[in-house]
A and B are shown apart, each in its own frame.
Chain A
Amino acid sequence: MLRIENVNTHYGQIQALHDISLEVKQGEIVTLIGANGAGKTTLMMTICGDPQATSGTIEFDGEVISGLDTPSVMRKGLAIVPEGRRVFSGMTVEENLFMGSYFRSKAEAQETVKHVLELFPRLEERFDQRAGTMSGGEQQMLAIGRAMMSKPRMILLDEPSLGLAPIIIQQIFDIIEKLRDEGVTIFLVEQNANQALRIADRGYVLENGRVVLEDTGDALLVNDDVRKAYLGG
């Protein structure tokens, strides 16, 4: 569904991604793990067209999307939950959700919002609350819910577990699995390698802007190098 081939990305003179190639197939959860500064966020953003890849191609659903600007990419059926949640803090939960369905009709949005609220009952309780006054976990749920409002075929998640308590992380991961079961393809960036690999079908390990390992989730979980580097021995 998403195919990345030999992508290089630069920030000015600095090269952040070196010849990245990876693939996410329809209905999979694929996770990307790597240390701080490995280039995970950069890869996500490159998919979205900001920064643009300096070379290589990105294909989504058989269509080349590298070279398109961010708004056009984001309307192709792809959604991203950006790093650090980024909810609209002055707006209510409801308004945040409806920003996600900006390009869809009201009727379609009503339909989807019901579904989102079923997945996140917590959001229904806080429907009229300002997003900025909610807890980190609730904000993360909102960010995911907002991304779902465009009814994407694929969701990119950048560190959804950032700064959350283990029990909330578990909830978020359960939801991610649920989404996959509904047919949404998932590309998940995580620091929390243990849990991410557990739910992932396949995983990639990124180091200094290069893909150094690629395997199934279960295989990576028992891989010695991965264990040493990311799972604490």
Chain B
Amino acid sequence: MTNKFYNALFASGIAFILTCLMVGIKLDTEGTQLAIKGASAEQWTWIGLGIALVFLSQLFSDKIDAIFSKVPKPKLSNMLPKEQKMATLKPWLLALLIVGMLVWPFMVSRGSVDLATLALIYIMLGLGLNIVVGLAGLLDLGFVAFYAVGAYTYALLSQYFGMSFWACLPISAGLAALFGFILGFPVLRLRGDYLAIVTLGFGEIIRILLNNWTAVTGGPNGISGIDKPTLFGLEFSRRAKEEDTVLFHEFFGIDYSSSYKVIFLYLIAVILTIFVVYVINRLMRMPVGRAWEALREDEIACRSLGLNRTVIKLSAFTLGATTAGFAGAFFAARQGFISPESFIFIESAIILAIVVLGGMGSQVGVILAAIIMTILPELAREFSEYRMLLFGFLMVIMMRWRPQGLVPMKRPHLELNR
């Protein structure tokens, strides 16, 4: 009990110091001088209440834990049908899901379709980073760099050479892969924290490069007027930019509506995401997928089995980068405008949060987390100042209730005929 008491005292002491520094003291400019001001009486009462809350919750943490452990946790495994039934149901469920995803946009508002498109981009990014962090266990804090490479590749090719989205998509992915490969070579000797720092640095380098190479990238002004994807050459704009382009609504003889474009972009995103999910799922089942995990678990054992760790790490890193490049190209096309602002560190952090939140290595988890992480801030738009607070709160809750992530990874299981 005394132990608990000191603990609570310590926690509330820290809370006191932190809130005093952040809320209790204010710097104000008075004329040319800085003046230090204390908080108002009302603020002090709030601070006092907050600290009391910290103290009490620490003191009675046992009881609080006991109460919360009584709150039933959702048991996903019980809600799902039994494994064998699942196996027969699975193709049907998947088909239903895909059809649903294709039909759904025609029934809801433009805004929600747009949001869904954004969620799909984050799903792709999350899945890409999931290979690197979740499976291969390489902490990459600069993932957004590859996203930026993909986006800028398409933006620049489209601006300078007028190339189409579809031609640029593989080029963007390829270039991002090349960057991943080149960065991976020297960097993958590093481990853990060191790797994290170097990748963090790389993310910043790319962003700063884009910001300062004004002649090519337009610097902070970014690139605007990036062409939207076309459907077999049909454009989705209201008026044709050039004489010979055919417009979608004219071709089909329907009235122009801006939502066609939004829905079309969404459908592209769906197709790209399905493609990414499928490819990564295949890879995870292949020996190389196992090798990623094995390498994360025990490097020496891997080497003793003759696996080449550089090749394995590099393949994970490159594949992750490729996915990001893919997502980046689509992002540029959807947005029509990109600037270095879109590729700041917080993006990397969000993608990483998606992977951690979803459950490292689990595809379903990452997809769920990506959806939550894009939709939640939208729902809480009114409290946009408290966005980061919400974010932190979510992380704390997750750590408390589902430390392994939303849907912890279950490795694909192969039955062999013994």
Contact = CB atoms under 8 A, between A and B. Distances in A.
Contact of A99 (B305, B411, B414, B418): B305
B74 interface: no
Contacts of A113: 416, 418
Interface stretch (B147-155, B233-241, B288-296): B288-296
Interface string A66-84: 0000110111000111100
Contact of B301 (A48, A82, A94, A95): A82
B307 A71 contact: yes
Contacts of A15: none
Interface string A101-141: 01100000010011001000000100000000000000000
A7 B245 CA distance: 74
Contacts of B418: 113-114, 117, 124
Contacts of A71: 303, 306-308
Interface in B298-353: 298, 300-308
A91 B294 contact: yes
Contacts of B293: 88, 90-91
A92 B303 CA distance: 19
B417 A102 contact: no
B297 interface: yes
Contacts of B297: 88-91
A60 interface: no
B287 interface: yes
B294 A99 contact: yes
A150 B301 contact: no
A102 B303 contact: no
Interface string A142-160: 0000110010000000000
The bracket for how many chain B residues form the interface is 20 to 34
A226 interface: no
A100 B290 contact: no
A110 B416 contact: yes
Interface string B385-418: 0000000000000000000000000010010111
A75 B308 CA distance: 11
A150 B305 CA distance: 8
Q: Which of B304, B307, B414 has the most CB of A within 10 A?
A: B304
A100 B411 contact: no
A87 interface: yes
A25 interface: no
Contact of B306 (A75, A88, A110, A124): A75
Contacts of B301: 82, 86-88
Given A74-B304, A74-B305, A86-B304, A91 B416 contact: no
Given A71-B306, A150-B305, 8 more contacts: A48-B303, A74-B304, A74-B306, A81-B304, A82-B300, A88-B298, A91-B411, A113-B418
Interface of B: 287, 290-291, 293-294, 297-298, 300-308, 411, 414, 416-418
17 contacts: A71-B303, A74-B306, A79-B305, A80-B304, A81-B304, A82-B300, A86-B304, A88-B293, A89-B298, A92-B411, A95-B411, A98-B290, A99-B294, A102-B290, A146-B305, A147-B304, A150-B305
Closest 5 CB pairs of A and B: A74-B306, A86-B301, A71-B308, A88-B297, A75-B306
